[in-house]
Amino acid sequence: MQLFIDDQPMTGPELDDGTLEDALRHVQSAVTKSARIVVGVRCDGEVISGVPMATTLKRPVSSFDRVDVITSTRALLVTEAMTHASQSLEESETATQEAAKLLVEGKTVEATQLLGECLRVWQQIHEAVSKSLSILEMDPERVTLKDERLIDAISRPKEVLLQVRDALTARDYVLLADVLQYEFADVTQTWHTLIARIRQEAEDRRAA
């Protein structure tokens, strides 16, 4: 078995035995010293992710001819995640207003389908923000955003998302349209500010 980290070969007797998971743990321990983390793995040219990963990790590492491990710095990983989150948020803003328009026109089926897609995007953004804070070890109760604690800023979008979910569940389309038209602009602006704050922190660390 050949093991490469960012296209650089890595050798050692501790990599010859055990499972793929054991090998990856050893790699993570090694790269941690250089402030990097494992972000991906390819086995014999195939990217391993999703559901198959759990099974693949249990296989003997010797069953593969070549394992490629991809690493990144924490700061770069967060920068990329926040850039993607910002782009997704901008796209969802247009979709949100379109959904509100459809609700006003009484086209509830089309509106709820569009909102379902938006909700998935918003959940992904929320998770990206939370994970990025954890990766950078930023304490949301101590870090501030325009004189407001991050923990409080994060909670406001969540509260409005719950209103959207409850209105959808109750099929209260009048309330839903009102929330989307009159409250969501503040939510998206809060998210934009949060994302920019976290991305700036990551960029500052990359430059340090």
Q: How far is CA 104 from CA 40, 113, 162, 188, 196, in A?
A: 45, 15, 21, 21, 33
Predicted confidence at residue 34, as pLDDT, reads: 67
Backbone angles phi, psi at 68, to 5 degrees: -110, 125
Nearest to 176 by CA among 99, 98, 90, 88: 99
pTM of the model: 0.75
Name the nearest CA neighbour of 143 among 178, 192, 188, 193: 193
Retrieve residue 15's tokens. 């990599």
**Three-state SS for 66?**
strand
**Using CB atoms within 10 A of its CB, is residue 116 exposed (0-12), middle (13-18) or buried (19+)?**
exposed
Element (H, E) at 77: helix 74-104
What residue segments make up the domains of the chain, in order of their start? 2-64, 76-207
- Token pair, residue 157, equals 């979008």
Structural element, H or E, at residue 43: strand 36-43
CATH 1.20.120 fits 76-207, yes or no: yes
pLDDT at 83: 95
Query: Whole-angstrom Cα distance, residue 25 to residue 28?
Result: 5
In the chain, the amino acid numbered 80 is E
Rounded-to-integer distance, Cα 110 and Cα 113, Å: 5
Q: What is the model's pLDDT at position 52? A: 81
In this structure, what token pair is assigned to residue 146?
């325009």
pLDDT in tens, the chain (208 residues): 889 999 998 876 666 778 999 988 888 888 876 678 888 999 999 998 887 888 999 999 989 999 999 998 989 999 999 999 999 999 988 898 899 889 889 999 999 889 888 888 988 998 999 999 998 988 988 888 878 888 888 887 778 888 888 888 898 988 888 888 888 888 888 889 999 999 999 999 888 7
Residues 6+ apart with CB under 8 A from 10: 3, 4, 27, 30
Backbone angles phi, psi at 113, to 5 degrees: -65, -45
- Which two three-digit tokens encode residue 180? 């989307």
Neighbouring residues of 15: CB distance < 8 A, sequence distance ≥ 6? 1, 3, 23, 26, 61
* Amino acid of residue 151: I
